[in-house]
A and B are shown apart, each in its own frame.
Chain A
């Protein structure tokens, strides 16, 4: 045996590490097979399907109204937005006009849901960074206040099932608006507190800045939407670009960042919470009295046709594509899965980074497995 004297290289080989489906920071039952060279990620292969329930098939066997509770189970941390997107699709299909008051209630709910979702997204992102549950619990405290409000109007804390075709299920109770006003007054201080807690933290900057960059072009090409797209520098928000519901009546900014790294995504979400609060505040002042539900039969029968409606859900563009064949159930219902499409670029984003970066990049994308697998 001869020894190479010129280069005494240790022979190493990459190995495969299996992340998930049960791993503390895969946010559900996501699984990826990572090929590693030491700590460096060479390649990952995502494996989906651990939460596949065939929601699209189930929609074909349920009435249009009966499918609303199931939309709660798609992206279960932002159920209100799912409800909204779905009922809007049915309304477009059936050509139903929604009463004014209901539109305002919907906007308030959708924006509160955005705050709640971003609280979870940022909390778990910081948790992935290793801040031992502190930001997570602080953010859950504020989310709890939002959940309280949702519970008040809808009677549930996670699967709200609040929106209905042609409006919302019930009017908001009398004690809702005072409680909301209190929340809107208190929340900006809390957001500032989160900023103080970790936004400038040198360790977080070192960990998240410049990590997991996705360029503008690539983000658009991958169909990425929501805060991730805006963090890459594309000023694109469906609330502005294609104002649905009554979003054209409110004043708000679209926060963007330029680098497209994990830290920017974190910052954009933080800023979006402030903007959402602004919208809620305006909607609260303008909300008119009146009916909250159009005259729509409980079992809707839209005419034959197809409709695609998308909204700016907290995670990005959430759309429902419905085909009706003039019956009480959808002929085909397709959900545009925001989380699934946002994962497209994960492989390019993590290649060459360390395991620890893989975790935080994944955390910064903010997916919900209920929506990825459906």
Chain B
């Protein structure tokens, strides 16, 4: 704690570059880079453990329980095992692309955390355009996934990668529109400012926005029920069918790092970030991230997967109009309501969400199915 306070106190809390640049800057940079990498790796291991144990219990079994007490070292054991595996590259693969893909996919997952505040001002770079940065960076990993699909020269991989590109391009739009609602209320693009503005967590002010963001976020990071890119019952393993050893481990890491990233962003944007009573802020942040992740595990355990055309239809015909309506309503509310009356938005917005969801599920039909051939 002390060292965190030290770092925060040596700089202006809301400025990316501290005043006593360059010494303070490098100190800040080094500290947070190390913290972020450690945080991401530890969190990934933790969420893998949570997912496997939680899913195991929900499926009436135990989950990994052999390595270490309660099996907590299972992710470590898996990592060691996978690192010792032979690295197999298909003969017809595009070697360079095949090699580069995991790196390209992994980098953005790590970069996202640069703007996520762990507590007030405790973040690598408090960019003024924080959330815009997140949106921009997060879609880069698609490139890595497509490279993996293309470079493997495997039809299953290619199909998975194509599905991924199609899905991400579509889901980016409702995702961003849902974010805009939050930005309108908070009045800032900076992640730290958004957290500071959340006297009431935005999940209450923006229930529909939260729903859209959560669904679109799940689709972005290939979590069930949108895990069509890996779809083990259809495409064997999707884009990473032909990967083994360290490169497979990278993809595995990407998958969970992205899940943590999306959970962290949802926490920051909708759940009040590090804000909370009693516990220290960074702990609140981690607890909330884990809760959001657990909901993802829960849905993954329960729901079947949807089909690619239904996925696209859902994005364009359901989430997109809902996001636009949400944005309009939010803008109207921000324009008309004064700051004191902000609590009025809670019941109103929840009612609006219920009505819209009911309305859409009534008129909206998923997919059409058969194509004449």
* Residues in A lying within 8 Å of B, measured CB to CB: 15, 17, 23-25, 37, 39-43, 126-134, 137-138, 141, 197-198, 201-204, 206-207, 210-211, 351-357, 359
Contacts and interface: CB of A to CB of B under 8 A. Distances in A.
25 contacts: A24-B236, A25-B233, A39-B163, A129-B233, A130-B224, A130-B227, A131-B303, A137-B59, A137-B61, A138-B60, A197-B302, A198-B304, A201-B303, A203-B303, A206-B307, A206-B310, A206-B366, A207-B305, A207-B306, A207-B307, A352-B371, A352-B372, A354-B309, A356-B305, A359-B233
Interface in B38-66: 55, 58-61
A23 B232 CA distance: 9
Contact of B302 (A42, A134, A354, A355): A134
Contacts of A203: 225, 303-306
Contact of B233 (A128, A137, A210): A128
Interface string B294-316: 00000011111111111000000
B373 A37 contact: yes
A357 B307 contact: yes
Chain B CB count within 10 A is highest, among A130, A131, A133, for: A130
Interface of B: 55, 58-61, 155-156, 159, 163, 224-225, 227-228, 231-236, 300-310, 361, 366-367, 369-373
A337 to B, nearest CB: 25
Nearest to B225: A203
A253 to B, nearest CB: 28
B303 A206 contact: no
Contacts of A131: 302-305
A42 B301 contact: no
A320 B296 CA distance: 50
Top 8 nearest A-B pairs (CB, nearest first) are A130-B305, A206-B366, A129-B304, A25-B233, A131-B304, A137-B59, A352-B370, A130-B304
Contacts of A23: 236
B370 A353 contact: yes
Chain B CB count within 10 A is highest, among A210, A211, A351, A354, for: A354
A115 B162 CA distance: 40
B233 A354 contact: no
Chain A CB count within 10 A is highest, among B55, B225, B303, B304, for: B304
Contacts of A37: 373
B234 A132 contact: no
A182 B235 CA distance: 41
A204 to B, nearest CB: 5
A129 B59 contact: no
B268 to A, nearest CB: 28
Contacts of B156: 17
Interface on chain B toward A: helix, strand, loop, or mixed SS?
A: loop
Given A132-B55, A352-B372, A356-B231, 5 more contacts: A130-B225, A132-B301, A134-B58, A206-B306, A206-B366
Contacts of B310: 206-207
A56 B231 CA distance: 38
Contacts of B228: 356
A332 to B, nearest CB: 39
A133 B305 CA distance: 12
A355 B361 CA distance: 26
A268 B155 CA distance: 35
A24 B159 contact: no
A211 B369 contact: yes
B305 A129 contact: yes
Contacts of A42: 373
A352 B303 contact: no
Contacts of B370: 352-353
Nearest to A210: B369
A174 to B, nearest CB: 30
Chain B CB count within 10 A is highest, among A127, A141, A210, A356, for: A356
B318 to A, nearest CB: 12
Contact of B371 (A40, A126, A128, A133): A40
Nearest to B156: A17
A117 to B, nearest CB: 20
Contacts of A25: 233-234
Nearest to B366: A206
B310 to A, nearest CB: 6
Nearest to B303: A203
Contacts of B234: 25, 355-356, 359
A134 B373 contact: no
A366 to B, nearest CB: 15
A201 B60 contact: no
A188 to B, nearest CB: 18
B304 A39 contact: no
Contact of A206 (B58, B231, B367): B367
B99 to A, nearest CB: 25
A41 B1 CA distance: 59
A133 B236 contact: no
B233 A127 contact: yes
Nearest to A136: B59
A38 B30 CA distance: 48
Contact of A141 (B58, B60, B300, B302): B60
B105 to A, nearest CB: 22
Given A15-B155, A134-B302, A138-B59, A354 B232 contact: no
A137 to B, nearest CB: 4
